[in-house]
Structure 1
Amino acid sequence: MKNLVSSILFSFLVIAAFSGLARSDGSSWPYADETQQQRNQRMDWWRDAHFGMFIHWGVYSVPAGIYEGHKVKGIGEWIMNRGKIPVAEYKEYSEDFNPVNYDPDKWVRLAKNAGMKYIVITSKHHDGFALFDSKVTDWDVVDSTPYGKDLLKPLAEACRKHGIKLGFYYSQAQDWCHTGGSAMRVPAKGGWDNPKAEKIDKFTAAHSGHWDPAQLGSMDEYIKNIAAPQVREILTNYGDIAVLWWDTPRDMNKERADMLQPIISLQPGIITNDRLGGGYPGDLKTPEQYIPATGLDYDWEACMTMNDTWGFKSYDHNWKSAKTLIRNLVDITSKGGNYLLNVGPTSKGEIPQESVERLKKIGKWMSVNSRSIYETTASPFAKLSWGRCTKKTYINGADLYLHIFDWPEDGKLILPGLKNKVQQAYLLENMKKVKTDSFADGVKIELPSQPLDEIDTVVVLKVAGELEIEKVLPSANAQGEIVLGAMMANIHNPGYGSQAKTETVNGKQNIGFWTDARSWIEWPFKVEKEAEFSVKSDVALIDEASEITIEIDDKKYQAKLSSTGSYSNFKTVDLIDKITLKPGEHRLKIRPVRGKWSPVNFRNATLKSLRILSK
């Protein structure tokens, strides 16, 4: 049992912090009066890094996805919730959480060699289990496991040793083991513990006599007596902390957030995300398990897994390839974001070998190409059909890093819209120069017959002057058709669920794997002269029918697609008989009709001019 005096002292200090740090206008956001210059200085290291490691680790790695001999659906760290495991029973797993093979120095070196610049680890996840020696609960690694040692201290030391920034994830609202935590305040359902049952942690039991019985289970009391003191602990006991990563702001109103927000001032300059709740925006947005099709208008970080789970699951073998992970990093960087890539260690303290192998392959690519990732900013071009672009700008010029995913068969790469003079062009891997030729529509680059790296070969263009780039969008060809190919589509996928993506069928690109009706696609395009157009598409599907909505600007149409017999047998179908479009930029969007959707492969959308209405 923790010392009761220590608990009371922590509560007193938290209250003192609230009164001392809250602003006179009622806001407790420490950066509310920050200038743009001050924000830039605070965010600079994070914006330059682009690549970090997420670590989901806890007691859930013991059952590893299996409860009572059955595989529990969902992500590994949610097994207690998804399996409706009673608190007392779940806590017994801690007896087998014994990470004797934990080597934090090895973990940090693995991250560093992969090219990662920071680490964010789950100090406490939704099951309420702390990886540190908490003074406010016994439900932590020191008091509840045979290991009996703080796991965060040696990790903090290793990060300092190797120059890696350290961040802590903290689940401030959801807590399935401490009374009052969100999701435990609802009466039992499906075998889930009743929050007023006696199966509560020792700290709550010790204090229950001081609380109004009607408030037992109050989330306000939980925030005050568990979450706030623990946040103070992780921001006080481990040296410099660069990031505080909140999660799932369930039931978090402003009053509850205001009990937590001032504490972050204990770490001046710390960066927080957008998941605290209570109306606080944080410093960065956090798209989960997807990459925004066109990036975001705010600092953002895509957090993603290597397989399908965050916490370790013994039977999840659906690993993404190193090729996919590297291209994700490049794609995210080209859109101005950061990539927080997850590993889920075992209960013995080992990062799965599949993760290690992929991180080493990423590190091999980064050892050659990291210059095209670190300290770069988003692409200045519209979507490039052959790959991605990152850039560094200077007073008198810029470096453009061309990431070539699809090597041109004729060895000639077109960079559309670039008006600047190219001073020098070379392959980043071997510094070998390549020839360039400027023409009206951009720059043509002559490449070797084969790529140096099949995953991503990088070409560097050093250009003079302030960047001058004409936005080049698909427009009418000589036949009066605007052909919107699969590679030029912006694919919008949900965070969880299947991911529509481009693939090659019969030697041609199409958008496939479109099994989730929440996914949708869009193409920007340009009309030179006012005209009437028809819209058609080449599609392939097996099911008898699928319905879609076609949107062009503010006009909506619906179409039914009939079976073509197979996903490789493409047929041309009419989507819109006639639509009038004025000169300028437009967007064509295709969305599934919910409940009337079956998977469809889309090769393109083609607008054909029927009649010119203006000269």
Structure 2
Amino acid sequence: MKALILSCCLIMLIMSSVHSQSDDASLDPYVNETVAQRDARMEWFRVARFGMFIHWGVYSVPAGTHKGKQIDGLGEWIMAKGAIPMKEYQPYAKEFNPVKYDPEAWVQLAKEAGMKYIIITSKHHDGFALFDSKVSEWDIMDASPYGKDLIAPLAEACKKNGIKLGLYYSQAQDWNQGGSARGNSKRKWDPEQEHDMDDYIKNIAVPQVKEILTQYKPAILWWDTPRKMNDERAEQFLPLLKLVPGIIHNNRLGGKYKGDISTPEQHIPGTGLPGDWESCMTMNKTWGFKSYDHNWKSTETLIQNLVDIASKGGNYLLNVGPTAEGLIPEPSIERLKNIGAWMEENSESIYGTSASPCRTPAWGRITTLTKGKNTTLYLNVFDWSKNGTIFIPITNKVKSCNLLVDKSQKFKTKTDAQGTTISLAGKAPNSISSVIVLKINGTPIVSDADKIKQNEDGSILLPAQKSIINNVIGSHVVYNKKKDCIDQWSNARATVDWDFSVNKAESYTISMRIASEEESTIELIIAGQTIHVKILPTGGLNTYKTVNVGKVDIDKAGDYSLHIKPTRDKWKPINLQSIQLLPK
């Protein structure tokens, strides 16, 4: 009898498992996808490397100002940041009349910039739909004087010009139609926003996602945000993906669903991310149009961001925020055309490339293209030294080395057991990034020449130049070559790492070469040990002092990492030149 009961239980367990797997398969169209199938589906995205993000909606009418007051924060968040009641916000839709909207011109601009896809906000957090929604009157057709679908002509222009179309959809936040934000007391600013999120998901969000997938067949569905999206809520959206076979979706749906691409926002991960990823970033400080945000990034920064992201295996999704009339701001147009001029000559070093085989060099960035048994390394040189040299720790035999824009201009190379040295000559062909094409035999063989190793006296020097800076949203910590330091470390959310090797077990004292104006606190993590460090003022951000910060016991030889993590509520800006470990 016991055996019979055990057998029945086992059968029920197996049936339950099969049923669960079947359910998952019926929900997620890619749950049983093979590696080859995924590679085929993701191929265009990996080749593209560069896309345009468009944040556009009713929020472009107030353009950052409500009742004569400039509202802090992002332009598209004005309703929440300004605590604007629905009855005051919704009338802005009556002024949203983009009569100067020219989708063909937008697509042509993206194409001229070298972008391969466009993602536009079909509905942002304020809930206003840029398309003709049959489940809501809070849309372009019913709530605005324009009265015409904004997505359809853009989709047509994209198709005509060979540009992939992606649609952003805010599935969890909807400040006018019962989304989740009002469930958070910090963002409950209007009693009229009381809601039932499950009712909203069922009757607004899911039907609208079905509408946009059915009508426009986008190549990407860009979810945002996963706030309060548990498994049950997220699973209501998954079957809809089957409406567009091969569609890519990101990691912001919520629940346990990770999507196809990671989406770091407003920063570039220090060493990239595993799998497919895309850094979305603004040209100034806001996504949606804000009339008084003139903090424009330079063309140099934008191009070098593109190169940096490609060198780490990611895509660059660069934003524009059109006006309420439907015009892309002139500073955005100017920068996109400048990027396009660079891409016209150098896009070969971006499209279809993969991450650098070695760590980030101080002189620029490296992208990789593999064909058969041969590899092409594109050396994007930011810092071109006339009659100088650049070095990469690659020991393969060099087949050829020439300038991308002029194949007749060749460069001398020397390869040994440590790597390859390229001799530069003349002036930089491009002041922002000059590309050298280095072709080698076989798969790149990386030496340990660039690895931080222990010196003969047992000391270990970790210079700022070889640090790995991990920026997060809102932080822009950088290595400043002129100052030879980690500079602008004012954001406590940014962290810094070094990788190094140790020859033998030893106890070490740790010192930091720092400059600071005020007292700060950090955590220094090494070999499984955490050291809490109080940094005292040195006399200013240009006044450096060497400060002993503690000791660490390393019990065996091998590879290690040192991680610095600021204490968030006790952090003030510092500049950091180096860290040194000295044997006791």
TM-score band, normalised by shorter chain: over 0.9
Q: Is the 8 A contact 1:30 1:262 kept in 2?
A: yes
Matched, 1:482 2:481: no
Which has the higher mean CA deviation after the structures are superposed, 566-575 or 361-370?
A: 566-575
CA distance 1:508–1:109, change in 2 (3 Å): same
Alpha-carbon distance in 2 for matches of 1:25, 1:354: 47
SS at 1:572 equivalent: strand
Structure 1 SS opposite 2:511? strand
Matches within 5 A, 1:240-319: 240-319=217-296
Deviation string 1:160-216 (CA, Å, 9 cap, x unpaired) is: 1110000100111111111x31124568977424335xxxxxxxxxxxxxxxxxxxx
Out of 416, 440, 444, the residue aligned to residue 439 of structure 1 is 416
Counterparts of 1:25 and 1:312, CA distance in 2:
40
In the alignment of these two chains, the number of paired residues is: 562
Contact 1:487 1:502 in 2 (8 A): yes
Cα distance in structure 1, aligned partners of 2:108 and 2:551 = 60
CA contact (8 A) 1:407 1:451 kept: yes
Aligned-pair distance for 1:479? 5.5
Flag the 1:241–1:596 CA change in 2: closer, same or farther, 3 A: closer
Q: Equivalent residue for 1:17?
A: none
Look up the match of 2:400: 424
| 2:390 and 2:421 in contact (8 A); partners too | yes
Residue in 2 that maps onto 1:67: 66
The letter for the 1-side match of 2:192 is: N
CA contact (8 A) 2:86 2:192 kept: no
C-alpha contact (below 8 Å) 2:262/2:277 kept by paired residues:
yes
Which shows bigger deviation, 275-284 or 532-541? 532-541
**RMSD over aligned Cα, in angstroms?**
1.9
Identity level (%): 52
Which residue does the alignment assign to 2:479?
Answer: 502
Name the residue aligned to 1:575. 549
For structure 1, list consecutive stretches of 5 or more residues without a partner in the other structure.
1-21, 197-216, 611-615
Within 5 A, what are the aligned runs for 1:11-90?
Answer: 23-24=22-23, 27-90=26-89
Please state if 1:515 is matched with 2:493: no
Picking from 293, 307, 330, the partner of 1:330 is: 307
Cα distance, 1:253–1:37 mapped onto 2, change above 3 Å: same
Q: Is the 8 A contact 2:218 2:244 kept in 1?
A: yes
Partner of 1:208: none
The one-letter amino acid of 1:141's match is I
Q: CA deviation digits over 1:82-139, x for unaligned, max 9?
A: 1111112211001111111111111001111111100000001111111011111111
The answer to whether the 8 A contact 2:360-2:366 is kept is no
Q: Is the 8 A contact 2:526 2:552 kept in 1?
A: no
**Which residue identity is paired with 1:160?**
K
Distance 1:410 1:563 in 2: 41
Alignment-derived partner of residue 109 in structure 2: 110
| Structure 2 counterparts to residues 377-416 of structure 1, below 5 A | 377-408=354-385, 411-416=388-393
Q: Is the 8 A contact 1:187 1:195 kept in 2?
A: no
Counterpart of 2:173, as a letter, is Q
CA contact under 8 A between 1:177 and 1:184: conserved in structure 2? Answer: no
- Separation (CA, whole Å) in 1 of partners of 2:313 and 2:123: 29
Aligned: 1:524 with 2:495:
no
User: Within 1, Cα distance between the matches of 2:363 and 2:445?
Assistant: 21
Q: Distance in 2 between matches of 1:567 and 1:135?
A: 58
How many Å apart are 1:295 and its aligned residue? 1.1
CA distance in 2, matches of 1:133, 1:152: 9
Partner of residue 444, structure 2: 467
* Greater shift in the superposed pair: 56-65 or 375-384: 375-384
What amino acid is aligned across from residue 494 of structure 2 in structure 1?
S
Question: Superposition pairs for residues 172-251 of structure 1, below 5 Å?
Answer: 172-178=171-177, 180-185=178-183, 191-196=189-194, 217-238=195-216, 240-251=217-228
- CA displacement at 1:482 relative to structure 2: 2.8
Tell me which residue corresponds to 2:516.
Answer: 541
* Distance in 1 between residues matched to 2:306 and 2:281, nearest whole Å: 11
Tell whether the 8 Å contact from 1:411 to 1:449 is kept in structure 2 after alignment: no
Post-superposition shift, 1:26?
Answer: 7.0
| Alpha-carbon contact 1:186-1:195 (below 8 Å) kept | no
Following the alignment from structure 2 to structure 1, what is the Cα–Cα distance between the partners of residues 574 and 54?
36
> What is the TM-score when the length of structure 1 is the normalising length?
0.88
CA deviation after TM superposition for structure 1 residue 395, in Å: 1.8
Match of 1:11 in 2: none
Mapped to 1, the partners of 2:281 and 2:42 lie a distance apart of: 21
Contact 2:182 2:188 (8 Å CA) reproduced: no
Instruction: Return closer, same or farther for 1:28/1:500 CA change in 2, 3 Å cut-off.
Output: same
1:345 equivalent to 2:322? Answer: yes
Alignment partners' CA distance in 2, 1:47 and 1:66: 39
How far did residue 546 of structure 1 move?
A: 2.3
Amino acid at match of 2:245: P
- Contact between 2:386 and 2:428, CA under 8 Å: does it hold in 1? no
Q: Tell me, yes or no, if the aligned pair for 2:386 and 2:424 is still in contact at 8 Å.
A: no
- CA offsets per residue over residues 485-519 of structure 1, 9 Å max, x none? 212111112212x4221225xx4311111112222
Counterpart for residue 613 of structure 1 = none
1:146 CA drift (Å): 1.3
Aligned with 2:528 (options 530, 554, 561):
554
Q: Displacement of 1:467 after TM fit? A: 2.4
Amino acid at match of 2:400: Q
Alpha-carbon separation, structure 2, partners of 1:458 and 1:479: 39
Distance of 2:435 and 2:455 partners within structure 1: 30
Mean Cα deviation higher: 464-473 or 153-162 = 464-473
Provide the rounded CA distance (Å) in 2 between the counterparts of 1:525 and 1:407: 28
Give secondary structure in 1 for the equivalent of 2:490.
coil
Contact 1:533/1:581 (CA < 8 Å) preserved in 2? no
Deviations 1:535-587 (A, max 9, x none): 222211112x2222222221222333222212112122222356446332111
Residue 535 of structure 2 aligns to a residue whose secondary structure is: strand
Instruction: Tell me the distance in 1 between the aligned counterparts of 2:74 and 2:462.
Output: 37
Q: Secondary structure at the residue paired with 1:146?
A: coil
Secondary structure in 1 matching 2:44: helix
How do 1:582-601 residues align onto structure 2 when only pairs under 5 Å count?
582-601=556-575
Structure 2 letter corresponding to 1:483: L
How far is the alpha carbon of 1:529 from its aligned partner? 4.0
Q: Is the 8 A contact 2:387 2:425 kept in 1?
A: no
